[in-house]
Amino acid sequence: GKILGYKDQYGWNNVYPEGLYNFLVYIKEKYKNPKIYITENGIASSKISNPLKDEHRIAYVAAHLNATKAAIDDGVNVQGYFLWAAFDTFEFQAGYSGNWGLYHIDFNDTLKRIPTDAAKWYTKYLTSDLRH
């Protein structure tokens, strides 16, 4: 019954990266350390005024990557980590109203794909020594 983490200001999600760490360690201990692939981890931006300035997404991804790295350092067998989502998409409950991806899709102007600040940060992260 206790709410963990903090409420994201641009969406409806509570953010609690420690929960990811705890869950990964739990899986390791409960199921004899199987291979784990995190296939969708990310945060929407449904209330953001400029979808290209998604600093909250950078903070979210960085915190969850750090939690995943801590779990790996503690022996959890994480084999892959994939962000959700690469591009703004149609969501069944929200249509095209939210900004979901690292690349903003301009649905009003020939579907241009524009990298957000988070996309630029993540590209730099993947190609630098930040991840070590």
Residues labelled catalytic = 40
Q: What number of CA atoms fall less than 13 Å from residue 11's CA on the CB side?
A: 19
| Prior bond of 85 cis (ω within 30°) | yes
Please state, in angstroms and rounded to a whole number, the distance separating the CA atoms of residues 16 and 63: 9
Please state, in angstroms and rounded to a whole number, the distance separating the CA atoms of residues 104 and 112: 8
For residue 128, give Cα distances in angstroms to 121, 124, 132. Answer: 10, 6, 9
